[in-house]
């Protein structure tokens, strides 16, 4: 059980603690993640002790194609041999033009593309283009939403713990409940916002999928109000939900689309913000405004890798594979866990699935007598406890970052049916051994207690 703590004594962990973030290193150890990763390939990770793990996290979706996909590495080597001009020049970047054209073809009528390096940069670009195009200031976002840790993203974050230490943030940002059209209608009427910023699935809030055609109706309401609908697909785009973009499930196209690190194939930092010609021209289509959005770093290598990412997604049929494998994952989890007293729900779309843990009607006497206590415990430890138990079996996953009672499963889109069976069998086995609350809490206390002692004394 405590083999995980060996990573804390590794020179890399000591350097990280000394010069980057010592608290993070201790927290990783406390939660059983005291490992230093040495190698990654496909759906596998290896630590410095040579142990192999099955990756069901995929770097929060950045490694959609798996780790170090051969086609992307080949394109990277070729690009380096060409001596590309990566820094911005007083001219046009051919790799950027090629990538933008490929994205425009996939996402038409979103045919104007603003390229960046990070998801946070892409979110900032979306907020800027909304304000510039509409000449309005207010921004509406959803409770529970997550849009990165930059100042712009935090300003429209739906989690006070992330946002509050950095106030005051960008002004005139207004929060409404997710999946609530009445609340949106009121905000559109009262605030006259430049943009409504929303995720198609609230991943870090617990893989929350909206009901029915919420997004399509929200877009129609925004259009009528003169507000742009900005769809943050950093974690859901590029095949993750079983289609190239999550909005394809709902029969509409947003006004602005945000894509993040998955565009770089998990190898290079790349992001993009897409919009229509009409919106882009309103924002930047004049001589005195054309340079209000841009970046010094052209990143020719990143554009070439991103283009290879798009080619791989299409030629290998990875969106369709995600749909098929995702259906298998959901079906098997629901079959295996449907009657478990501490499994409240299994939900998701494509290869983005959440297992919500907590008290149910079948949770036993303690769960019925003290539901608030059990619910509170579940929100603090259940998801992390299950993640640690799976890590001990060589499977990497984590809870949703802002909802720790929901275990998030988001493997690379290249995952096989056999690998899915392995993970489902492991989850079912762990939970089958812990159907009684006292047994579950004792097991969690044993693991976290030992981990805490070991990590903080390391």
CATH of the domain at 75: 3.40.640.10
**347 and 447 share a domain?**
yes
Q: What CATH number has the domain bearing residue 437?
A: 3.90.1150.10
Q: How high is the pLDDT of residue 33?
A: 76
Domain boundary (280, 315, 350) is at 315
Alpha-carbon span 81 to 429, nearest angstrom: 50
Per DSSP, the residues of 307-356 read: HHHHHHHHHTTHHHHHHHHHHHHHHHHHHHHTT-TTEEEEEESSS-EEEE
Q: How high is the pLDDT of residue 456?
A: 41
CB-side exposure of 52: number of CA atoms within 13 Å? Answer: 5
**62 and 137 share a domain?**
no
Q: Give the number of other CB atoms < 10 A from CB of residue 438.
A: 10
Domain boundary (298, 315, 332) is at 315
Q: How high is the pLDDT of residue 378?
A: 66
Query: Domain range spanning residue 384?
Result: 2-67+318-457
Element containing residue 429 per DSSP (H, E): helix 417-432
**7 and 38 share a domain?**
yes
Domain boundary (282, 315, 348) is at 315
**226 and 118 share a domain?**
yes
Q: How high is the pLDDT of residue 2?
A: 34
Token pair 């812990």 is found at: 434
Alpha-carbon span 235 to 322, nearest angstrom: 14
Q: How high is the pLDDT of residue 359?
A: 78
Q: How high is the pLDDT of residue 1?
A: 35
Q: How high is the pLDDT of residue 89?
A: 64
**59 and 84 share a domain?**
no
Low-confidence ranges of the chain (pLDDT < 50): 1-6, 452-458
Q: How many domains does the structure of the chain reveal? A: 2
**133 and 233 share a domain?**
yes
């Amino acid at each position: 059980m405590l083999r995980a703590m060996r990573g804390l004594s590794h020179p890399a962990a000591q350097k990280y603690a000394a010069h980057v973030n010592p608290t993070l290193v201790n927290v990783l150890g406390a939660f059983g993640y005291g490992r230093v990763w040495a190698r990654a390939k496909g759906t596998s990770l290896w630590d410095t002790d040579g142990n192999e793990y099955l990756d069901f996290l995929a770097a929060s979706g950045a490694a959609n194609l798996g780790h170090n996909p051969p086609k992307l590495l080949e394109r990277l080597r070729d690009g380096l041999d060409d001596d590309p001009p990566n820094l911005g020049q007083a001219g046009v970047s051919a790799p950027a033009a090629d990538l933008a054209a490929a994205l425009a073809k996939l996402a038409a009528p979103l045919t104007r593309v603003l390229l960046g390096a990070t998801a946070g940069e892409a979110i900032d670009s979306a907020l800027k283009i909304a304000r510039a195009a509409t000449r309005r200031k207010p921004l509406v976002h959803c409770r529970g939403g997550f849009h990165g840790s930059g100042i712009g993203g935090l300003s429209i974050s739906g989690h006070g713990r992330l946002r509050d230490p950095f106030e005051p943030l960008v002004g005139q940002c207004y929060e409404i409940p997710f999946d609530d059209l009445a609340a949106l209608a009121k905000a559109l009427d009262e605030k006259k916002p430049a943009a409504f910023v929303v995720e198609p699935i609230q991943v870090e809030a617990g893989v929350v999928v909206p009901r029915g055609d919420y997004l399509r109706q929200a877009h129609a309401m925004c259009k009528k109000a003169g507000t742009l609908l900005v769809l943050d697909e950093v974690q859901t785009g590029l095949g993750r939900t079983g289609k190239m973009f999550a909005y394809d499930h709902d029969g509409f196209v947003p006004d602005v689309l945000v894509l993040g690190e998955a565009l770089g194939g998990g190898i290079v930092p790349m992001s993009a913000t897409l919009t229509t010609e009409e919106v882009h021209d309103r924002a930047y289509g004049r001589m005195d405004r054309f340079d209000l959005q841009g970046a010094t770093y052209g990143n020719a290598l990143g554009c070439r890798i991103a283009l290879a990412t798009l080619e791989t997604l299409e030629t290998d049929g990875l969106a369709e594979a995600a749909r098929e494998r995702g259906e298998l994952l959901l079906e098997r989890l629901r079959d295996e866990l449907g009657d478990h007293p501490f499994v409240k729900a299994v939900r998701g779309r494509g290869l983005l699935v959440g297992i919500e843990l907590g008290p149910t009607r079948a949770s036993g006497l303690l769960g019925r007598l003290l539901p608030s206590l059990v619910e509170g415990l579940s929100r603090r430890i259940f998801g992390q406890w299950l993640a640690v138990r799976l890590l001990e079996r060589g499977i990497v996953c984590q809870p949703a970052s802002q909802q720790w009672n929901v275990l998030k499963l988001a493997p690379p889109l290249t995952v096989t049916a056999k690998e899915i069976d392995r993970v489902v069998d492991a989850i079912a086995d762990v939970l089958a051994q812990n159907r009684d609350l006292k047994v579950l809490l004792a097991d969690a206390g044993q693991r976290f207690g030992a981990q805490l002692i070991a990590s903080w004394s390391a």
